[in-house]
Chains A and B, each alone.
Chain A
Amino acid sequence: MRITRTVPEPFAVSSRDVEVTACPNGPLLVRGADLVRDSEGRAHPVTRPVVAVCACDKSQRMPWCDGTHKVIPKNR
């Protein structure tokens, strides 16, 4: 049986502890969140057990990391 939890908007936060890990020269790994907000406040549902949130601001699919940080020169 699958129990679907309804979370009232706009306070759709997680009922669990959210763990955020910063990867050096990479994204933030977020575990335990039900949604992530982008810089404009839009909510993006979390659909996988751990998500990578962009930390370089260059992703083409914000707020998620798409690997773009790897092609940005590090010394800029």
Chain B
Amino acid sequence: MDLPAERGPLSAGVVRALGGEAAIDVDALVDRVHGRSDVVEVVSNDDFQLALWVMYELHYLGFEGVDEGWEWDPRLLRVRRELEGEFEADLRRRTDADVTAALAADGDLSARLFDLPKAIDGPSVARFVKRDATREQFEEFLVHRSVYHLKESDPASWVIPRITGKPKAALVELQYDEYGAGRPDRLHATMFASGLEACGLDSEYGAYIDMVPAYTLAVNNAMSLFGLHRRLRAAAMGHLGAFEATSSLPCRRFVSGIRRLGLPEKVAEYFDEHIEADAVHEQLALRDICAELVRQDSTLERDVFFGAAVCLHLDVVAGERMLDAWQSGRTSLRVPALDPEAVA
């Protein structure tokens, strides 16, 4: 993957340093993080989210032509830490009331986790896709989702060496399924790539980064934040649980929408696989991982709910923004490059 285009002073500082165009000025970047002159909140801040996303990507597949040593460069890590501090604080603010309510509610932990999507709910992109979306809108949806689904499940894998016993066994059982259970063609990321190709879209990892808005990057950055910090392992597992628990029923609607639009079977196959897979995974994630993790260490309960609430909250934000764009006749992407007339 190539380095993305910068979106402001923070991302410019990071991208130019990685690309070897300019020396990294840590103090200036740290000052920028705290002294941002714009009033755009962190989740919607393109410059902020892109800078963080680029630094996180160094821990996954990295960038073409970028020295792999940057992954653990202390100067870059210091900038990342500042961004992460602001991002985590914003996520905690946004979810605090829901987390506190879920902690105080009656019922066992997995039942309260299963109930959380009812409390943090928004307009359904899946319903819109089922009934109303145009082919172009559905392709935009795939572009947003490609940022995550082309590395599907990877952020949760960071947690494996950080937990023990039953939750560890359950997490590996879940991940083994996500990674195709020994069949490379059934790797969920590979199935998604096949779906993109069948629709005539680019399946290369990171191909659409320049087109996705801040909120799509924020969805991904939250997973990397939780995955890369052992301190946040319970949030990572809460996030995984909420993601799985809000997948089967929407995936059924996506399949209906795909069939209504007459799109290729390969893309339907990806969502169809998730109807059954995630009906299993939600049980594993919420009962055998999250509930067991808290049984082992009750101090992790708040962060399990925090992670779950962040997953649901950011999904609501992304859904609202996408639907708002489509319903007012706009693209939800940063540049309307999917529209051939706009390019011509």
Contacts and interface: CB of A to CB of B under 8 A. Distances in A.
Interface of A: 23-27, 29, 47-52, 60-61, 64-68, 70-71
A67 B279 contact: yes
A7 B275 CA distance: 28
B287 A49 contact: no
A66 B176 contact: no
A53 B87 CA distance: 40
Given A66-B248, A66-B252, A67-B248, A49 B176 contact: yes
Contacts of A50: 173, 177, 280, 284
A21 to B, nearest CB: 9
B280 A60 contact: no
A65 B279 contact: yes
Interface residues of B, number: 20
Contact of A29 (B249, B275, B283): B283
What DSSP secondary structure best describes chain B's contact surface?
A: helix
A72 B278 CA distance: 18
Given A23-B283, A47-B181, A67-B248, A52 B114 contact: no
Nearest to B284: A50
Contact of B177 (A48, A61, A64): A48
Given A27-B283, A60-B252, A48 B181 contact: yes
B177 A67 contact: no
A36 to B, nearest CB: 12
B276 A65 contact: yes
Interface string B247-284: 11100100000000000000000000001111110111
Given A64-B279, A67-B282, 20 more contacts: A23-B283, A24-B111, A25-B114, A29-B283, A47-B181, A48-B277, A49-B176, A49-B177, A50-B177, A52-B279, A60-B252, A61-B275, A66-B249, A66-B276, A67-B247, A67-B249, A67-B252, A67-B278, A68-B249, A71-B249
Contacts of B252: 60, 66-67
